[in-house]
Amino acid sequence: MRQIRQYRSISQCSEEPDSIPVEFGCACLHISRTAYYAWLSGKMSKRDTDNARLAEKIEQIHTENPDKGYRRIRDDLEHDYGIRVNNKRVLRLCRAKSIRSTIKYRNNGCTRHAADPQYLAENILNRDFHADKPDTKWLTDVTEFKWYEGLEVHKLYLSAILDLYDRRIVAYVIRDRNDNSLVFDTFKKAVRTNPDAHPLFHSDRGFQYTNRKFHQMLEEHKMVQSMSRVAHCIDNGPMEGFWGILKRERYYGRHFTSRESLVQMIQNYIIYYNTKRVQHNLGILTPWEKHRFGLAA
């Protein structure tokens, strides 16, 4: 790959009064002298020129969102710029520019299973994570975040509901306590904004979801309840996957020193995720674009 900005830097430095030798500049930037002189003479091949332009666009995308790896960068090139290239070419250019996605950390979760569940449902979803239209299958869960005030550690809990058709976050609530009201209010928010939805409702066996009152709320809204099996996180895989995406891209590696900054991060990310973060599995669309597509079908 030939990198136009590096060529220009070498050229500018070599023209200054106390100029740096071209050989030294090429060695420092790991540039072939032959390639540099080909660029200087205007004899670069069309493929080299295209690669240089593509590399600049790739670096721009990665600079704006350092969490993105080559697959998501390729999707952005197609979705945002109409540039269709294959994964291998983008990967090759990313490697040349040392572009890598953020390291993924393990998500340990925070679910507290009920010691004495009032209601248990079968795993009706049975890992069938495909949905033909919006609001036919919803997943839910609660995850934990931490923020710090000096040496004192504070916890924050996020409850969310995800639609399997478009992977959008239907509703969410952020609270300081992981209790029944956290989950109940998330559900109420979801049905308030989606009054005609009667999806299969899947969760793990957390104490809030096995509460008899919660089951009654589902029945009142004509929803069928489904639950993961004990110690089978994969039964709620897409929901667990969303937690991993959020934390990998915006939480891990950061140190939040106020509740407000952590809440703001979560709120901003969910807006970004729903409206701007394209997903390959959705056909290079954002969740909201996929949602609108489903409603129009």
Q: Residue 100 — φ and ψ, nearest 5°?
A: -135, 155
Tokens of 145: 């975040």
Does the residue 35 lie in any domain?
yes
Last residue of a domain, one of 42, 66, 96: 96
Mean pLDDT in residue range 256-269: 98
Q: Cα–Cα distance between 290 and 162 in angstroms, integer?
A: 13
Mean pLDDT in residue range 41-61: 78
Q: Cα–Cα distance between 236 and 227 in angstroms, integer?
A: 9
Does the residue 115 lie in any domain?
no
Does the residue 119 lie in any domain?
no
Mean pLDDT in residue range 87-93: 88
Judged by phi (left if over 0) then psi (alpha if -120 to 50, else beta), residue 254 lies in beta
Question: Could you list the residue range(s) of the whole structural domain that residue 31 is in?
Answer: 4-96
Mean pLDDT of the chain: 88
Tokens of 74: 């390729």
pLDDT of residue 42 exceeding 50: yes
Residues 150 and 288 in one domain: yes
Does the residue 232 lie in any domain?
yes
Does the residue 130 lie in any domain?
no
Last residue of a domain, one of 46, 66, 96: 96
Model confidence pLDDT, tens digit, residues 100-121: 776 555 555 556 666 678 889 9
Residues 292 and 162 in one domain: yes
Q: Which of the two residues, 106 and 124, has the higher pLDDT score? A: 124
Q: In what order do the strands lie in the sheet with 200-203?
A: 169-175, 152-163, 137-149, 200-203, 224-227
Does the residue 111 lie in any domain?
no
Tally the residues of the chain.
Answer: 297
- CATH classification of the domain holding 191: 3.30.420.10
Cβ(23)–Cβ(48) below 8 Å? no
pLDDT score of 4: 67
pLDDT band for position 90 (cuts 50, 70, 90): confident
Does the residue 113 lie in any domain?
no
Which residue reads 């023209």 in tokens? 15
Model confidence pLDDT, tens digit, residues 129-146: 999 999 999 999 999 999
Lowest-pLDDT range, 56-60, 75-79, 274-278?
56-60
Residues 79 and 142 in one domain: no
How many domains does the chain divide into?
2
Residues 169 and 79 in one domain: no
Which residue reads 């969303």 in tokens? 242
Q: Residue 27 — φ and ψ, nearest 5°?
A: -65, -40
Residues 168 and 85 in one domain: no
Does the residue 121 lie in any domain?
no
Residues 157 and 85 in one domain: no
Residues 92 and 166 in one domain: no
pLDDT score of 2: 45
Last residue of a domain, one of 66, 96, 126: 96
Residues 259 and 173 in one domain: yes
Mean pLDDT in residue range 46-61: 81
